[in-house]
Structure 1
Amino acid sequence: MGGDTGTGHGFTPELRLIDLANAVRATPDLPRAALAALLAAHGERPDDLTERSFSELDAQELRAAVREIADVLTESDTDRAAEALNALLAAHAAPPRLSRHDGHPWHLHTDRGDDAGWGSWFLASSALALARILTEYGRATWGACAAPGCATLFLGTGPGSPRRYCSTTCATRARVAAHRRRGRETT
């Protein structure tokens, strides 16, 4: 299983988290092969994702873990998000350790070792990624899109107002709908 924090070489656990969370929310019983493909797209070795290495039982465990941390991604209150992340870290993380394997550069692992299940590994690495974002920006910069009919999860970063939409498309669609609604109300 891959590293826990970004290495500067394109691996970002927070993007893996968002992609998996949106996929599992859209298709709760996302097939094992689809989960494996998403994990491979985020740097996991194909040899670690065969049916033998990543079984249907492993996929089931991972889907449950994804749903659990997706709940944190819908929490906009920073204090409640921090409490939820602390609970996940207490339940699934171990002391951090540096690891270099399978051609990856040195990176941080916080899971409970090579015997940790896929779900525990995912929760530990994802909670650490979100905790890093929360401490860097001082708030929960993530959420579910506020556009009607869209529940896509997103990560917002940087200073400024908290993000409300998953994309400029959703933001524009919501603004146009509000403008039209106001126009109808004044006539």
Structure 2
Amino acid sequence: MGDGGRGFRPVERLVELANAVREDPALPAEAIAGMLVRHGESPEDVTGAAFTAGDARDLRAAVVRLTGVLTETDPDRAAEAVNDLLTECGARPRLSRHDGHPWHLHVDRGDDASWADWLLASSALALAQLFSEAGRPAWGECAASGCSRIFAGTGTGAARRHCSPACASRERVAAHRRRRGAR
């Protein structure tokens, strides 16, 4: 399980998986595999016996657990949740090279770790890094009315409140109309 040489973006992978599983709690293995390939896994690693229906089930359960962290905005509780995951996963950074992938960082228990273990460990490490860079949870649920998509911000500055510029703009327009109507 690696990045296929295309760059390691575990937070983006996690957000995409979290939104997809929230939308479809029974997200099929093929859809999960497609997302993993888009985020650097080789197609061979997510087909046949390498990625089973049981792997998909366990991965969906891991995504649900991680979604609990992604929806936590209180800094102390979010930090505790990330630390708990790191402890549970036995996260010890190591460089790994397997299945034709170049050397890359792993934090799971070993190259034979389950997909769920791998996702929990790599996501927890990525969230810890993002948290430490921002000094707070740099993630959350969209604050726009009618939208509950999860997002993660990677830039500095004010905390994000919306999943996209479109949601932020809709909220600003709605607030403006409310203020104008209150006159």
Q: Give me the TM-score of the superposition, normalised by structure 1.
A: 0.92
- Asked if residue 41 in structure 1 is aligned to residue 38 in structure 2, the reply is yes
Q: CA deviation at 1:38?
A: 0.4
Please give the per-residue CA displacement for 1:91-128, whole angstroms capped at 9, x wherever unaligned. Answer: 11332111123443322111011232111110000000
Which of 108, 112, 115 is the equivalent residue of 1:118? 115
Q: Which amino acid aligns with 2:76?
A: D
SS of residue paired to 1:52: helix
Instruction: Find the aligned partners of 1:51 and 1:102 in 2 and give their Cα distance.
Output: 15
- Asked if residue 28 in structure 1 is aligned to residue 25 in structure 2, the reply is yes
Identity %: 60
SS of residue paired to 1:81: helix
Question: Who is 1:150 aligned against?
Answer: 147
Instruction: Find the aligned partners of 1:144 and 1:94 in 2 and give their Cα distance.
Output: 26
Question: Who is 1:184 aligned against?
Answer: 181
Q: Which moved more, 1:136-145 or 1:30-39?
A: 136-145
Q: Which runs of 5+ in 2 are unaligned?
A: none
RMSD: 1.4
Question: Who is 1:163 aligned against?
Answer: 160
Count the aligned residue pairs: 182
Q: CA deviation at 1:77?
A: 1.2
Instruction: Find the aligned partners of 1:86 and 1:64 in 2 and give their Cα distance.
Output: 19
Question: Who is 1:60 aligned against?
Answer: 57
Q: Which runs of 5+ in 1 are unaligned?
A: none
Tell me: higher relative CO, structure 1 or 2? Use CA pairs within 8 A at least 6 residues apart: 1
Question: Who is 1:2 aligned against?
Answer: 2
Q: Give me the TM-score of the superposition, normalised by structure 2.
A: 0.94
Q: Which amino acid aligns with 2:54?
A: L
Q: Which amino acid aligns with 1:123?
A: L
